[in-house]
Structure 1
Amino acid sequence: MAGSLKLVCTALQRQWFHTAGCHFKGRTGAEHLWLTRHLKDPFVKAAKMENYRCRSAFKLLEMNERHQILRPGLRVLDCGAAPGAWSQVAVQSVNARGTDPRSPVGFVLGVDLLHITPLEGATFLCPADVTDPSTVQRILELLPGGRADVILSDMAPNATGIRNLDHDKLISLCLSLLGMVSDILHPGGTLLCKTWAGSQSQGFQKRLSREFQNTRTIKPEASRKESSEVYLLATQFHSRKGPGTR
């Protein structure tokens, strides 16, 4: 994580003890526990300070800083985009607003089942199911050249609290996304997707390795330590449908 972000988070942690007390009145034990974690979380505070829509922005910021996933001029498909924090990071990183006249202008398309508040520099397709063939067709129509250079996925199913079941459901969602990659991703492109660690993780990573030249598992600092959440980064996609267009 960048040193400046660490300084921001440290300062915000110090402020927490002065503001937390009023939030706990009349809360149940479970609500009290959730609020304690939420209010003490430096990334929640930092997201407000930096005007990101939620703390998950810092996961992508960190992964992008370490692995150079995004750069000016790239076309990005953000799956499971609501509330739009990853799209915010992508818009900045690919110069989608054209704010840097010296750099190529990228494109960001976000898709989600939920409504997403409009964001300058991004196009949102919502409500829409990214696994629906009609949605895929609309994605291809909206992407410049009909292809994405990077697919981001922070998608997750509604959690049941049963770890193995939730893991299986998320892997199924990831496999559905992988099945669309050949239609959407430009040759040499990148896929970054969230998974929950579990029995099927290794098998899914093997599937990725057949489609991409390189794969790795990432656990960003902004991902809570108690969470089984990890991200799989796959680069250099091997197209099965020819060179595509640019």
Structure 2
Amino acid sequence: MLKHTVLQRSFIHISVASLKKGPLNLKGKSPADKRWLVRQLSDPFVKAAHTQNYRCRSAFKLLEIDDKFNILRPGHSVIDCGAAPGAWSQVAVQRVNSTGEHMENPRGTVVGIDLLRITPLDGAHFLSNQDITDPATEAQLLSLLPDARADVILSDMAPNASGLRELDHERLINLCLSVVGLAEKVLRPGGSLLCKYWDGALAHKLQTNLSQLFQDVRTIKPKASRKESAELFYLARTFRKR
């Protein structure tokens, strides 16, 4: 249920840190690693994440979606599935006012969950090294949510890549379906769910499940998603409990 492999996460850290340090030392790197690092350093969203103090470039995917659809509002309770390294939680904290910084607005709640350790973030409760499908994790999650309910569920999860496209696609769809199952238990009527998936043969299964629970389901590819990536997002709005 990891968002990226640990190796990829370390590369993200290296590339952002390198923006201030001048030319990148590629000695000893494989050709694939070199291509990845060079792409990171030339990526405007990586640079923007550094200058705007976001933990990684994925923050801009959520910012773009929320700017258009306004799913994160002051006072909302948000679950961030696969939260590490915490960029989506950063956006959610800002948008729902979970630090209480803007006293004129209601104060929201942000709970992030990941198999990896998540660096603490003011305004967010993190359940690190925990599995979202574990009943014990679910119990902790419910204890942190006001009235044990959420207004928005976010999922930028992805399995560690196996190198087999169809297998990775199936694994990610299954992760998304587990998030849908969570939504049935904790989402308030009228709530929203945003989940990443990779395009493939099983996407219709996920869409069908979402359509049974939400009034509006649409596919989104934010500008911050790389054009060559199979990454897409389902945005499901107006939850109607069965």
TM over 0.5: yes
TM-aligned CA deviation for residue 24 of structure 1 = 3.1
Match of 2:138 among 129, 136, 139: 136
Instruction: Determine the structure 2 residue equivalent to 1:12.
Output: none
Alignment TM-score, normalising by the size of structure 2: 0.89
Match of 1:189 among 188, 191, 200: 191
Instruction: Out of 172-181 and 190-199, give the one that drifted further.
Output: 172-181
Aligned CA-pair RMSD = 1.7
Q: Secondary structure at the match of 1:53?
A: coil
Q: Which amino acid aligns with 1:136?
A: E
- Give the whole-Å Cα distance in 2 for the aligned partners of 1:158 and 1:41: 23
Flag structure 1 segments of 5+ consecutive residues without an equivalent.
1-15, 241-246
Q: Secondary structure at the match of 1:24?
A: coil
Q: After superposition, what is the alpha-carbon deviation per residue over 1:193-239, rounded to whole angstroms, capped at 9, x for unaligned?
A: 00000001112101100010000000001111111000000011111
Match of 1:82 among 84, 88, 91: 84
Instruction: Determine the structure 2 residue equivalent to 1:43.
Output: 45
- Give the whole-Å Cα distance in 2 for the aligned partners of 1:103 and 1:180: 28
Flag structure 2 segments of 5+ consecutive residues without an equivalent.
1-17
Instruction: Determine the structure 1 residue equivalent to 2:96.
Output: 94
- Equivalences for 1:41-190 in 2 at 5 Å? 41-190=43-192
Identity %: 58
Instruction: Determine the structure 2 residue equivalent to 1:13.
Output: none
Decide whether the 8 Å contact of 2:19 with 2:41 is kept in 1: no
TM-aligned CA deviation for residue 25 of structure 1 = 3.8
Q: Secondary structure at the match of 1:92?
A: helix
Check if 1:225 corresponds to 2:237.
no
Q: Which amino acid aligns with 2:66?
A: N
Q: Which has the larger radius of gyration?
A: 1
TM-aligned CA deviation for residue 26 of structure 1 = 4.2
Q: After superposition, what is the alpha-carbon deviation per residue over 1:124-170, rounded to whole angstroms, capped at 9, x for unaligned?
A: 11111001112111111110110000000011111111111100000
Match of 2:214 among 197, 212, 215: 212
Check if 1:200 corresponds to 2:202.
yes
Alignment TM-score, normalising by the size of structure 1: 0.88
Aligned residues: 225
Which fold has the larger relative contact order, with Cα–Cα distance below 8 Å and residues 6 or more apart in sequence? 2
Decide whether the 8 Å contact of 2:161 with 2:168 is kept in 1: yes
Q: After superposition, what is the alpha-carbon deviation per residue over 1:76-97, rounded to whole angstroms, capped at 9, x for unaligned?
A: 0000000110000000000111
